[in-house]
Structure 1
Amino acid sequence: FLYFIGSSAQESIQTVNSAGFFQISHITDTMTVENCIPSDANEVSDTLHGRDATKEHKRQDQRQEKLPSAAPTPLIFFLTTWSYFIAASWGYLRDLFRHFVWADPDLHPKPGYGKLATGATDFFSRRIYRRIRDCWNRPVNTRAGRVIGVMERTSDPGNRNFEFTGNTIPCVNLASYNYLGFSEDIPSVTEDNLTALEQYGTGACASSQEGGQSQVLKELEVETAQFVGKEAAVVYAMGFVTNFSGLAPLFCKDTLVISDSLNHASLVAGVRVSDGRVKVFKHNDLGSLERTVRRSIIDGQPRTHRKWKRIVILVEGIYSMEGEILDLPRVVEIKKKYRCLLYVDEAHSIGALGATGRGVCEHCGVDPADVDLLMGTYTKSFGSIGGYIAGPAKLIADLKRYSGASLVGDTLHSAAAQQALSSLKVMQGKDGTTIGRDKIARLKDNASFIREELRKRDMLVLGESESPVVPVMVYEYHKLAMFSRECLKRNVAVVVVGYPATDPFEMRARLCISAAHTRADMQRAIDAIDAVADVVGVRYALPWPFRK
């Protein structure tokens, strides 16, 4: 039976010239490439018979198993369900009262106006989210440095309206993506930014194809490509748009995209607006990835069972809600074994991983040439905005021609481009200092320190020690709000994340660590979170009878 499958699969697939890469195939038929599946019968047969992987693969998979899991225990699942039940029941009672006794403008809009949402979405927004929405969209009046100024505000009992008190709450900033601390005032970077602002003004007022391509933007593309080890790069004005607009023209209808189940929304949206088909594998489970690739080769396209022209693996360097680092060597091994193509989103890993900040490739010891496309943003480690896609020069040239954001979207503002460019040069020591190298080392030290200290205090902390994203599991709906409010009382700014950004039963607080934080900042934040853990009850690393 296995021999029959192997023979059938071998007959239905052809080889690929991997140098052809993605090439934007839905624009012209002449820009397609051959199938990216191995054609050697022995290679396919070995793949089919090796049901799980080699012992080495199993050892690599065990690395992921050792990391704490966000999955709730049965008790936590029950308590979380119970908290939702109470909130929903109280909400329905209030709706009945408002409907029959006291008119509610949310239930009865003004004549001539329609409701913005209906059904479950409307109920969730009014009775679940609104009760705790003071935990989000908090205005600040300082730069996103190691300490941030949160503008104090009060609200009515229903959290409908907010009013500012005029006070500012200074907080240790664990809420910003300021990984390397470049949002702080670094004299050489600030001077370059002011020069660029004076020379180029406040905006390009045009796309890069229509007069918006400044010299500093061109230099940023060249410098970025050299930094990540690629031939060329294209820069976009927004990180989300980089994936959303950059992925859309890459995939034709005969392309299969195999995506991690917890990939960022920008990746999901980018694939959806393309012509490609998508399959999802279990998060960070490379056994699941290999099985999905193998099954896709055997089955071919839906209904017709024709071969896929290409199969593309879509993953992230650091997963932004889990703090987990991609096992890139194993992904590259699978990619080469089945001759797939690989797209890695390095939004959170570029600048934060590797001895010189070159991201997950450097961290894992992988040649950047083994990754077909590298995407990253300037929002996190560089203290700016925008993003880039780096890869083969011909493909990048095609992206500049066919990507919507390059054609009609305003280009990255020159001062923001200069901020990214100057920060990149500091990271490489081209300013003649060791500031960049010291920042990278300090970030790793801070991330490892706070993760270890919180785990010592019996909190369930996800991710790996080198990751600057430190998720602390909270789980229950009411505890999410309590955690955020209690941290603010103790002058610590954190981000709490709930549904729909995460699974409704896996709510968490996400701490973002910066090289700008001093050890005193870290200790103060740890002490505050430790006190909050007692108040809220989030020491989930301990069995239930032993929790405080």
Structure 2
Amino acid sequence: MGEHDEDDKYNNVPYFTALTTYCNYAVIVLLGHIWDFLVNTFGRGDGVNGADGSDYAPYVRSFEDFYARRVYSRVSDCWGRPISSAPGAYVSVIEREDNLEMDWKVDLKPTGKTLDCINLASYNYLGYGELPGGIDQDTLEALDKYGVSTGGNCVEGRNDILEELEETMADFLDKEASIIFGMGFATNSQVLCSLVGPGCLLISDALNHASIVVGSRNSGAKIRTFAHNDARSMENTIRESIATGQPGTGKPWRKILVVVEGIYSMEGEICNLPEIIRVKKKYGVSLFLDEAHSIGAMGGTGRGVCEYWGVGTKDVDIMMGTFTKSFGAVGGYIAGSKDVIDLIRYTSPGALYATTMSPPCIKHISWVLSEIKGEDGTGKGKQRIKQLKENTMYLRRKLAEMGLQIYGEPESPVIPIMIYGVGQIATFSRECLARGLAVVVVGFPATPLILSRARICASAAHTTEDLDKALEIIKDVSKLTMIFYDTPKRRTPALKSPKKFEEKVHASDSIFSSEEIVEHSTENGHTVLPRAAPDFGRFSFM
């Protein structure tokens, strides 16, 4: 399940589409260089990097500068669109137009108008990004009592409501303890350096999020990747790494940590957790699970991919998640053993040098958790989880029936629609917006060159009427852009439902024990070691 090799995705690209996409990029680059030559020879520089005659070093690399001016600037209106409403089932998008006074520069100015759109662009899985009934009273009271900011870090700024939320989150995940951060990205990028360091090995899925890439590089640990969501590749990487030991010395690794995601946000694929746990236990390594997109959205009670697969959370050493998707808030959490959480609290840059979560956000998340757990007695949380699943499967079924190529599993609320062609990305985005539908489109360098796509997100906030209207718009725009690639002659591999995890998995000793982690805290420096360039295909303009 979910083990899609990158070559398989390339095999789904129609040959003519691949050829025209490469040709389009070649023409754009060629014309851009011709224009730069003419401007540098006869013009005033047109802002070309280093062409102003100054003695200062250029701000950016020449290719980055060229790409921004000659490629991205042509379609910049398709990204970073500002909104003027809550990101609910519908959203008000601020209309923009080119600022002609800025010449080539990526600059758009508001027209003063807004467009009311069906919102398939926001991460609002359970619909808590917008509260039709108004903000919960406890949230408003927290603003009056505690103010906007705690004015302290995760030690000094840990007030009673934050401590209560940490205990609630730990109980929700059946973990000993948890720690809450005020920023989701920092929950990864500023924590991994407290868990591994020099002499340690971090084994990462090839398509892990940018926050994991940054956190891994900051840790000072040696980094190796394995093929996306492929337990066999992961096992081979672990076995080879154990056999060869540390580079240069051959000494055993001090610790080995595997990092995976619950749902991969660019692919819509669900982590093959049972197989990953099996390999993890076989070799005695530790597992870090990023549930930014799966917590709240997966499982019968919203407890994430562990519940989805029927796997105990005790089989995952460290669990990470964010409150920015299903909870409609900000920040993130790490849950694990008490020793690990204490180590993070007193050594992580994100815990020591950043202000804790705002009190109103703390109370909002606590309120959302009480609804999800059913403690409010209304059953609304359970209904939202059920509605999300129904909307997700309805969208996926209808899109597949249209003949569109989509990635991911039937219950994944992240739904990539393959576009491929460079010219079709902008057309798809602009035409959807003009018809009242907000979507996200993603192209190079956020994806490989010919694997451009639109990415829509299901939400419990939508009614069937909302989805039918959105699907009709997608159908019309797909006809215009000619992206019905999944014809009877060219069918993508069938989406698979999760198999029941029948193998009985027990907790086992890990080389990443609490004692070793605490000992490691006295040695771990935060030096960034050089490594191969990150996969910029995982970065997005959004």
The residue type equivalent to 2:262 in the other structure is G
1:457 counterpart residue number: 402
Q: Aligned with 1:235: secondary structure?
A: strand
Identity %: 41
Cα deviation per residue 1:429-451 (whole Å; 9 max; x = unaligned)? 11111100000000011111111
* Alpha carbons of structure 1 residues 473 and 110: separation in structure 2 relative to 1, 3 Å: same
1:116 counterpart residue number: 59
From 80, 91, 109, give the equivalent of 2:32: 91
From 499, 508, 512, give the equivalent of 2:444: 499
From 5, 23, 27, give the equivalent of 1:82: 23
| Shift of residue 466, structure 1, vs aligned partner | 0.6
The answer to whether the 8 Å contact 1:357/1:427 transfers is yes
* Alpha carbons of structure 1 residues 417 and 488: separation in structure 2 relative to 1, 3 Å: same
The residue type equivalent to 1:138 in the other structure is R
* Alpha carbons of structure 1 residues 518 and 243: separation in structure 2 relative to 1, 3 Å: same
CA distance in 1, matches of 2:169, 2:7: 34
| Shift of residue 116, structure 1, vs aligned partner | 2.7
From 156, 161, 167, give the equivalent of 2:113: 167
What are the within-5 Å matches in structure 2 for residues 324-343 of structure 1? 324-343=269-288
1:272 counterpart residue number: 217
CA distance in 1, matches of 2:386, 2:247: 49
The answer to whether the 8 Å contact 1:79/1:476 transfers is yes
What are the within-5 Å matches in structure 2 for residues 293-372 of structure 1? 293-372=238-317
CA RMSD of aligned residues (A): 2.0
Q: Aligned with 1:149: secondary structure?
A: strand
The answer to whether the 8 Å contact 1:256/1:277 transfers is yes
| Shift of residue 95, structure 1, vs aligned partner | 1.1
The answer to whether the 8 Å contact 2:4/2:229 transfers is no
2:501 counterpart residue number: none
Cα deviation per residue 1:61-108 (whole Å; 9 max; x = unaligned)? 6x6459995323544332221111111112112212222233244124
CA distance in 1, matches of 2:449, 2:7: 18
From 322, 331, 350, give the equivalent of 1:405: 350
From 521, 532, 541, give the equivalent of 2:466: 521
**Runs (5+) with no aligned partner, structure 1:** 1-60
The answer to whether the 8 Å contact 2:3/2:228 transfers is no
The answer to whether the 8 Å contact 1:142/1:148 transfers is yes
CA distance in 2, matches of 1:200, 1:94: 57
From 95, 103, 120, give the equivalent of 2:44: 103
* Alpha carbons of structure 1 residues 76 and 288: separation in structure 2 relative to 1, 3 Å: farther
* Alpha carbons of structure 1 residues 407 and 159: separation in structure 2 relative to 1, 3 Å: closer
Q: Aligned with 1:87: secondary structure?
A: helix
Runs of 4+ in 1 over 6 A off after TM superposition: 543-546
TM-score (normalised: structure 1): 0.85
The answer to whether the 8 Å contact 1:474/1:508 transfers is yes
TM-score (normalised: structure 2): 0.86
The answer to whether the 8 Å contact 1:498/1:504 transfers is yes
Q: Aligned with 1:273: secondary structure?
A: helix
CA distance in 2, matches of 1:311, 1:179: 33
The answer to whether the 8 Å contact 2:5/2:228 transfers is no
2:95 counterpart residue number: 152
1:178 counterpart residue number: 124
CA distance in 2, matches of 1:502, 1:214: 42
Cα deviation per residue 1:398-438 (whole Å; 9 max; x = unaligned)? 11000111111111111111111110111111111110000
| Shift of residue 543, structure 1, vs aligned partner | 7.4
| Shift of residue 276, structure 1, vs aligned partner | 1.2
Q: Aligned with 1:207: secondary structure?
A: coil
Aligned length, in residue pairs: 484
The residue type equivalent to 2:289 in the other structure is V
Q: Aligned with 1:249: secondary structure?
A: helix
1:7 counterpart residue number: none
The answer to whether the 8 Å contact 1:67/1:462 transfers is no
What are the within-5 Å matches in structure 2 for residues 368-517 of structure 1? 368-517=313-462
CA distance in 1, matches of 2:59, 2:439: 30
**Runs (5+) with no aligned partner, structure 2:** 492-542
The answer to whether the 8 Å contact 1:377/1:388 transfers is yes
